[in-house]
Each structure stands twice: as C-alpha cells, then as structure tokens.
Amino acid sequence: MFIAPHDLEGVLEGAFGSAALPPPPGIGRTEREGALFDNTGGYGMWAFGAETGRFPGGLAAMSGERLGDTVARMAAGRHPDPRTLVTVSAPETVSPLPIRTPVPIGPRPATTITLLGDAIHSMTPTRGIGADIALRDARSLCRALAGALTGGGDPVAAIAACETEMREYGFAAVRDSLRAARRFVDENPVARAGFRTFPRTARRLPALRRKAFS
C-alpha cells in the first residue's frame, strides 16, 4: 500500500473562503521521513492497496517518484480522477506502507503491566475498527481495576481476567479485519462488485447496517 498526502488548500479556500482559524496548540509543521508535512491546513491522502505479489520487486528501495509511477501504472484503466491525485502528488511524500497482521498469542502470567490496542492486537485499516477495539480494551480494563480496587479484590487477577477477554474479542477483530483486507485487494470481478455493493445496500437498509456493524 502506498500513502501520500495531497494539499487541498486551494480547494478549501475556494469552497470556504480564505479566512483561517489558528491551529490548536501542538498542531503545526512536522517532518515525516524527510518530507515537510503541513498539518495546519487542509489536505487529502490517497492509498493504493494490492496483494504483495502484484507489486514489483525492490519496492522498499524505490524513490518516491518511482513509487508514484508504479502506482499510476498499476492503476491504469481506473477512473482518471484518483490517478490524477497520484500524478500530481509531490514525489517526496509517497512512501510504501506494508500491511501486516498479528497471530493470536496464548495466555501469559499477568503482572501490573498490560497492553492495549495496537500494542497487542494491531490490525489492518480496512474495517476501520482499530480505535474502537482499543477503546473497548480501555473500558474493560478500567472496569476490571475499579471493581478490584473498590471491592477489595486483587488488581493483578483483574488484569488477567481482562486479558483473557481481550484475547477473544481482540483477535476476532484482527481476523475480521484481515478478511476485509483480502476482499479489498481481491481482483475477482464478482468479489469486487460485492465489496462495492454492500456498503451502498447497508446505507439504504438500517436493519442490515445494524446487523453488519454490531
């Protein structure tokens, strides 16, 4: 997968006027892999995903310009608007981002230190549920510790119970996310049609949407 930010300041100025609000503290220009990334204004980001075998060899050593050319070539035949985003992006902002997924781990002796969110069950971005699962981790841990501390229980035992629960729902989310990632890069025309059709159908049928995202 390639990721590249694309400045939309001109588009935003045309749509919303030129008045700009001062950014909150801590927001400003930052260096990202040698590229100046301005997060004080509007920007867009494109990503191109495919199975590893579809990419040419030596990807990690390619310059941003070569990476952009590779994406443009692989996206030939697609709608021209997304391809334009690729071709006008500054080469120094284009970089490869390998998508990896973990395997479930077995139980381990609990201590006063535990892991939450991506630190223990990172997942692909295709389902957009990583932050939700991390928040669920935090809520579960908070409730377990609060119950132990107010009820005279053992905090470490509470952490152990929390970790047992998290291994179940956390890695179930990892598997769901991986299945979504595989559907995302599937070149089968029937599978791609289904992948595109489902969100539109769910948007029109609230009951289906609630069932799918419960």
pLDDT digits (tens, 9 = 90+) for 82-100: 888 888 888 888 888 888 8
**What pLDDT, on a 0 to 100 scale, did the predictor assign at position 161?**
95
Q: Same structural domain for residues 50 and 17?
A: yes
Asked if residue 157 is part of any domain, the answer here is yes
CB 129 within 8 A of CB 123: yes
CB 99 within 8 A of CB 184: no
Q: Which of 33, 62, 96 is the last residue of a domain?
A: 96
- CA–CA separation, 98 vs 209, rounded Å? 30
Query: At 148, is the pLDDT very low, low, confident or very high (cuts 50, 70, 90)?
Result: very high
CB atoms within 10 A of CB 2: 22
Asked if residue 78 is part of any domain, the answer here is yes
Q: Which of 96, 128, 158 is the last residue of a domain?
A: 96
**What pLDDT, on a 0 to 100 scale, did the predictor assign at position 16?**
40
Task: At 109, list the tokens.
Answer: 């002796």
- Write the DSSP symbol of residue 28: S
Q: Same structural domain for residues 201 and 124?
A: yes
For residue 127, give its domain range.
Answer: 118-212
- CA–CA separation, 86 vs 1, rounded Å? 13
Structural domains counted in the chain? 2
**What pLDDT, on a 0 to 100 scale, did the predictor assign at position 167?**
93
Minimal CA–CA distance to 140: which of 113, 163, 123?
A: 163
CB 124 within 8 A of CB 101: yes
Asked if residue 105 is part of any domain, the answer here is no
CB 81 within 8 A of CB 107: no
Asked if residue 109 is part of any domain, the answer here is no
- CA–CA separation, 175 vs 167, rounded Å? 12
Which phi and psi (to 5°) does residue 43 adopt? -155, 160
SS3 assignment, position 62: coil
Report yes or no on whether pTM surpasses 0.95.
no
CB 172 within 8 A of CB 102: no
Q: Same structural domain for residues 87 and 6?
A: yes
Q: Same structural domain for residues 126 and 180?
A: yes
Q: Same structural domain for residues 191 and 151?
A: yes
Q: Same structural domain for residues 129 and 189?
A: yes
Asked if residue 108 is part of any domain, the answer here is no
Q: Same structural domain for residues 205 and 164?
A: yes
Q: Same structural domain for residues 122 and 173?
A: yes
Q: Which of 96, 129, 162 is the last residue of a domain?
A: 96
What do you get for the CA distance between the two ends of the chain, in Å? Answer: 28
Q: Same structural domain for residues 7 and 88?
A: yes
Q: Same structural domain for residues 43 and 83?
A: yes
Q: Same structural domain for residues 48 and 123?
A: no
Asked if residue 87 is part of any domain, the answer here is yes
**What pLDDT, on a 0 to 100 scale, did the predictor assign at position 26?**
56
Q: Same structural domain for residues 142 and 79?
A: no
